[in-house]
């Protein structure tokens, strides 16, 4: 699994390995849960931490999390094994061939910047680099990165497994293509893309966390009943097959204020990428990105913020009317 990520890579059965290859750096609470979630979604995960004790216990902690999910009725696949997870013996081995590298180390700009510098000098030039930061300056961090346009904030929300939202933050150097690639990954994971455009991070209250867990459990139960009835619909072997139903349930059960309207369906069609609750109905000039609704566009301009896709300053918002 540490080898080449080209189309010639194969599994043990000789079949071309088409799984998304992701390296997770950091085996703390968030790092192991992110790795566990990625495994449930069928990604090929390489995990690394320079703390050998944390690394050596990572797999057992992931299995403990999965067992807890199974006990609570939150895990659809009852035969889950970490066969698509390896613990690498070095940072270089972990990031080799990875399409995405996600760090989840201590919240310290100097530490993360140095780590990203090392990663960017070792991994593929096309790999997306994601930092799981709450408030650190991504633009400043990217100045230490080789090909700095590929660094982006990718923040999973605790406790990860039952939370649909993933907060994505673009730095001043982040390329719009990188945002698109991350959006595709989040869709593959069965998560909901939440593009952060201001200074305040997305923080869920305990009640909101609980509502999402309840929604997840209900939809897992629905999916299990569908399997038992022998439904002919397409059923994913992992618990993330319930993504569409979960996203709708999150919409129905949300209790957050109006400014946090981000729990609707995933913004992969015509939905505003900021609130995901309304249709995209305006162009941001001069970049001409059609990416959000008029209400969110007004909010961006009132706060003197840039286009969430390309970071170009917004000079004008043009309403688009559908025939």
pLDDT attached to residue 269: 56
Cis preceding linkage at 227, omega within 30: no
Q: Check pLDDT > 60 for residue 15.
A: no
Q: Check pLDDT > 50 for residue 162.
A: yes
Pairwise CA distance, residues 78 & 82, whole Å:
12
pLDDT attached to residue 116: 98
Percentage of the chain beyond pLDDT 90 is 50
203-229 pLDDT per residue, tens: 888 898 999 999 889 888 888 888 777
Query: For the CA atoms of 7, 10, 15, 21, what is the dihedral angle to 10 degrees?
Result: -70
pTM of this prediction?
0.70
The residue with greater pLDDT, 317 or 131, is: 131
What value, to the nearest 5°, has the Cα angle with vertex 119 and ends 23 and 169? 75
Cβ partners under 8 Å of residue 171, min gap 6:
137, 138, 139, 141, 142, 151, 152, 153
Backbone angles phi, psi at 183, to 5 degrees: -60, -40
Q: How confident is the model at residue 231 (pLDDT cuts 50, 70, 90)?
A: low
3-state secondary structure of 32: helix
Q: Check pLDDT > 80 for residue 305.
A: yes
The residue with greater pLDDT, 323 or 266, is: 323
pLDDT attached to residue 80: 66
pLDDT attached to residue 290: 81
């Amino acid at each position: 699994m540490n080898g080449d990520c080209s189309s010639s890579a194969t599994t043990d059965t000789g079949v071309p390995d088409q799984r998304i290859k992701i390296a997770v750096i950091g085996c703390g609470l968030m790092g192991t849960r992110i790795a566990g979630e990625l495994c449930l979604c069928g990604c090929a995960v390489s995990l690394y931490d320079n703390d050998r004790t944390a690394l050596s216990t990572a797999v057992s902690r992931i299995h403990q999390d999965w067992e807890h999910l199974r006990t609570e009725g939150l895990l659809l696949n009852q035969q889950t094994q970490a066969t698509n997870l390896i613990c690498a013996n070095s940072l270089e081995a972990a990031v080799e061939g990875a399409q995405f590298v996600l760090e989840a180390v201590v919240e310290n700009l100097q530490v993360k910047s140095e780590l990203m510098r090392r990663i960017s000098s070792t991994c593929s030039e096309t790999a997306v680099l994601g930092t799981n930061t709450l408030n650190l300056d991504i633009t400043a961090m990217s100045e230490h990165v080789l090909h700095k346009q590929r660094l982006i904030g990718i923040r999973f929300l605790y406790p990860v497994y039952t939370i649909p939202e993933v907060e994505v933050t673009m730095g001043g150097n982040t390329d719009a293509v990188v945002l698109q690639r991350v959006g595709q990954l989040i869709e593959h994971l069965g998560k909901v893309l939440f593009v952060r455009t201001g200074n305040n991070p997305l923080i869920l209250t305990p009640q909101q966390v609980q509502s999402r867990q309840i929604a997840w459990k209900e939809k897992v139960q629905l999916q299990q009943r569908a399997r038992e009835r022998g439904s002919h619909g397409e059923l994913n072997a992992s618990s993330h097959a319930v993504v569409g139903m979960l996203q709708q349930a999150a919409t129905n059960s949300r209790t957050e204020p109006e400014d946090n309207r981000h729990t609707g369906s995933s913004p992969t069609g015509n939905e505003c990428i900021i609130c995901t609750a309304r249709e995209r109905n305006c162009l941001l000039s001069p970049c001409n990105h059609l990416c959000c609704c008029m209400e969110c566009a007004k909010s961006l301009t009132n706060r003197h913020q840039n286009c969430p896709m390309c970071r170009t300053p917004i000079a004008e918002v043009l309403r688009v009317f559908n025939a």
